Amino acid sequence: MSRRLLFIGSAGLAALGLATAAAAAPAASAAAPATNEVVRIALVLTMLSLIPALLVCMTSFVRIVVVLSMIRHAFGMPETPPNTVLVSLALFLTAFSMMPTFTAVNANAVQPYLAGQATTQQALDRGAEPFRAFMLRQVHDQDLKTVYQMARRPLPTRAADVGLMELTTGFMLNELRVSFRIGFVILLPFLLIDLVVSSILLSLGMLMVPPSTLALPLKVLMFVLIDGWSLVLAGVLGSFR
């Protein structure tokens, strides 16, 4: 009798285990898409946190903001225009000049990833290609050679073999060099005004009058008369290939 009860109890427990497993299988399969969605959202938020670094390193922002800062220092007004104004203007100009690249990234990487049609690695690879193409159009061979020399690695023979990290570093070196060249051209007229004003004050014996007091209004007047902001911004945007 005890053996019969033990057999019946074992059979009941086995049936209960099979029923529990059968009920848990659909629940696990239903939880898998929800987990994937949570992981996808977390990855998207992480990538959004990296956007400021990508904006500085892989776009035209560096060249634009450096040139705008040099204009401010050429006037001799380190606080005017304010940093907020210069950075905002640089952001809008960056979006304007990089719009084809941003459109390609959105169409080839962002939208397929959000729709679940591409994995994370595929989205990253597709999103990097438009930025690679843009940076390769700007960078010079000498910049890449310098970066690879610092890394103590041989320079690739093909552009497709250049690593993204090395390409980004070389691109930033190129942007700094080009922006300083543009800044040098901008500073020359203002330097000439400073020299003329200083010479006039020295010849008049007005040694106690700071040259910047008289040079600043002349600089502002000259810059406004020639529509300097439009000329400089058009030249900076036109320097991108």
pLDDT digits (tens, 9 = 90+) for 178-236: 989 988 888 888 888 888 888 887 777 777 767 777 778 888 888 888 888 888 888 88
pLDDT attached to residue 4: 45
pLDDT digits (tens, 9 = 90+) for 178-194: 989 988 888 888 888 88
Token pair for 174: 């190129």
Q: Over 80: is that where the pLDDT of 82 sits? A: yes
pLDDT attached to residue 21: 42
- Distance between CA atoms of 138 and 120, rounded to whole angstroms? 28
Count of CB atoms situated within 10 Å of the CB of 214:
17
The DSSP call for residue 77 is: -
Going by C-beta distance under 8 Å and a sequence separation of 6 or more, which residues neighbour residue 136? 159, 162, 167
pLDDT band per the 50, 70, 90 thresholds, residue 3: very low
| 72 close to 80: Cβ distance less than 8 angstroms | yes
Token pair for 74: 């050429």
pLDDT band per the 50, 70, 90 thresholds, residue 34: low
- Distance between CA atoms of 147 and 178, rounded to whole angstroms? 17
pLDDT digits (tens, 9 = 90+) for 129-175: 888 888 888 888 888 888 888 888 888 888 777 888 888 888 889 89
Q: Over 80: is that where the pLDDT of 60 sits? A: yes
Reference 64, options 94, 96, 102; nearest CA is 94
pLDDT attached to residue 35: 62
- Choice among 52-56, 109-113, 140-144 with the minimum mean pLDDT: 52-56
